[in-house]
Amino acid sequence: MKLQKTVKAVKKKYGIDVVAREDDRSIFLSGECNSWDTVVAIGKEFVTEGKHVVNDIRLAGYQPKPERLPLLKDDKLEGTSWDVVVIGGGISGCSVARELTRYNISVLLVEKHSDVARGASGANDGMVHAGIDLKHKCLKLKYGVAGNALYADVCRELGVDFRRSGQYVVFDSRLVTLLARSTVKRSRKHGISGVRTVGKREICTAEPCVKDFAKGALYAPSTGVVSPYQLTVAYAENAVQNGATVSLDTAVLSMERRDDRIVNIVTNRGSFSARCVVNCAGVFADKIAQMASDRYFSIHPRKGTDLLLDPKADGLPNGNISMGPSVKSSHEHTNTKGGGVIRTVDGNYLLGPDAVETPEREDVGTEKSSVDGVFAKQSRVCPSLSKGSVIAYFAGVRAPTYEEDFLIERSSKVRNLVHVAGIQSPGLTAAPAFSKDVAQMVKECLEESGDMVELNDSFDPVRPKPVRAKNLTDSHRDELIKQDPDYGKIVCRCEEISLGEIKQAIRNPLGVHTIDGVKRRVRAGMGRCQGGFCMPIITRVIAEELGIDPSEVTKDDGGSNIAVGRIKEI
């Protein structure tokens, strides 16, 4: 009854005929629309408590681009069997894989790209959220707050830099400052500690760049910053260290279900079986669910663009600031959510992100409109910043469901399938917490079909922190170089990264064989010359370490070769 009412309301509001049906888990929509924003908006109209939305409304005239698949084809995994397979090597999959290695089970993580952290986990601002903007009774709140509390410990174990730097949300009107008091109250109720309102004088002292317009602010001390890809890599490396197998360039192509179980998984590197399947496939989580004939939610891809600023630019804040709701600007139409200026853990500054709904799950190309829009909106907190300070920008595609909450649960239809879907902001914050619960779900699943799962006695939670020669004292650095002279040979002059650090990343058990992978791990190529000087050298080092020709070295996924061949051979 209620469903048909919504159908009518949608017809009135958007002029679109939507066919809606429901079952015990989901509302299924079909129809056709002329704008993608309308497709998404209609999907949201049907969000109902206790049900998921599966939105199959088509965008008229739109042909979805084929999914990007690895070029590689072999039978590395053919005929193998595993206790658990984790699909997807983002922060969700890697953290889950690591938590699973606490048990005495065989764990396989498959990732279709040539490296982990290639989706949204590699292209976000690295903010560890306090959770002050989260609604009551949602998984985002539960895991966001719990995850935030675990961060310092997890990062210490995994040898990843983390700084609990706090965050100001600045208001340009007294009225909003009053409203902020309810946020303080709500935060206290949600167990977020230390949130308070801050007067004009305090905010202007802490962050002089807002002095011309700030009337007050909200301060959340538990906000932190981390490198999202370094944390993802660290989780993956620790998983491998504890016995997990990570298979890169491996895409799940189909699954075979028998009764209520997945019995066979087909990839470009062979088919295999697993007693439990964990779906951490990010923007493809609903496609994976569909392969298991268990599609009961939809992912609507949302692109966000971040701008990287020259850390030496004038007018930058000291820490993280975002602009609170503004009375003056409330009438502006904007797709931009939260965001602000973030001082990254590496001491760089990011502006962003924005949020643009898109039917493209893999399009991380940057758009002028987003670059201009993010700068215009997010630089409001530091008005004297000039656009010339932007030194790089990147986009990532988030994977929200229509319910805009995490979906972390065992499938009710497929007994050996766990979904970790809809992981968007604050997914990075929440991962240390939800990965533990997911590991529990997997354990229960395995125990239903077999023996009790035992603990892995040799599990070592500590992933040795990669050496960063630049940060050592002179005497420690000297000692290190005397042990291995490669640490004295600087390859990346802008970030001061040595050959030893690059070789260490390549030789790690998880390893890395791409230019961008090296960059994500050791920051070589992230400085002012953006790899202009060191890229050819790193190409040579990778070739030498892997015993391949330099023309076979790739920037990223298979096919992205730096060169098209050796000279004199074309």
Residue numbers at the binding site for other proteins (CB under 8 A): 68, 364-368, 371, 390-394, 469-470, 474-475, 477-479, 481-482, 485-486, 488-490, 493, 496, 498, 528-533, 535-536, 539-540, 550-551, 554-570
Q: Beta 196-199 vs 224-226: how paired, if at all? A: unpaired
Nearer Cβ to other proteins, position 268 or 401?
268
Inter-helix orientation angle 228-241/515-522, to 10°: 100
**Residues 502, 504, 509, CA angle at the centre, nearest 5°?**
125
Do 499 and 491 touch, CB atoms closer than 8 A?
Answer: yes
Among candidate residues 52, 129, 300, 513, the one labeled active-site is 129
Comparison of 43 and 352: residue with beta carbon closer to other proteins: 352
DSSP string, 84-101: EEEE--SHHHHHHHHHHT
DSSP of 417-449: EEEEE---TTHHHHHHHHHHHHHHHHHHHHHHT
Q: Which residues pair with 302 in a beta bridge?
A: 357, 398
For residue 92, the minimal CB distance to other proteins (Å) is 22
Work out how close the CB of 496 gets to other proteins at its nearest, in angstroms, rounded to a whole number: 7
d(CA 491, CA 494): 9
Nearer to other proteins, 1 or 570 (CB): 570
Q: Cβ 302 to other proteins, closest distance in Å?
A: 18
Could you say which DSSP state residue 177 is in? H
Please state the closest distance from residue 500 (CB atom) to other proteins, in A: 10
> What's the one-letter identity of residue 386?
S
Nearer to other proteins, 313 or 490 (CB): 490
Q: How far is the CB of 91 from other proteins (least distance, A)?
A: 19
Residue closer to other proteins by CB (options 278, 524) is 524
Residue 546, CA atoms < 13 Å, CB-side half-sphere? 22
The answer to whether 494 and 537 are in contact (CB under 8 A) is: no
Please give the Cα distance from 96 to 94 (Å, whole number): 5
Q: Tell me whether residue 221 or residue 488 sits nearer to other proteins (CB atom).
A: 488
Q: Which is nearer to other proteins, 191 or 532 (CB)?
A: 532
Would you tell me how many other CB atoms lie within 10 Å of the CB of residue 386?
A: 12
Nearest approach, Cβ of 376 to other proteins (angstroms)?
15
DSSP state of 208: G
Token pair for residue 546?
């892997």
What is residue 233's three-state secondary structure? helix
Query: How near is the Cβ of 532 to other proteins at its closest, in Å?
Result: 5
Cβ-based nearer residue to other proteins, 180 or 309: 309
249: DSSP letter: S
The answer to whether 52 is a known catalytic residue is no
AA identity, residue 221: P
Backbone φ/ψ region at 496: left (φ over 0), alpha (ψ -120 to 50), beta: left
Tell me which residue has tokens 């020709």.
Answer: 549
Q: Closest approach of Cβ 484 to other proteins, in Å?
A: 9
Give 258's strand partners.
261
Residue 379 φ/ψ, nearest 5 degrees: -80, 0
Catalytic residues: 129
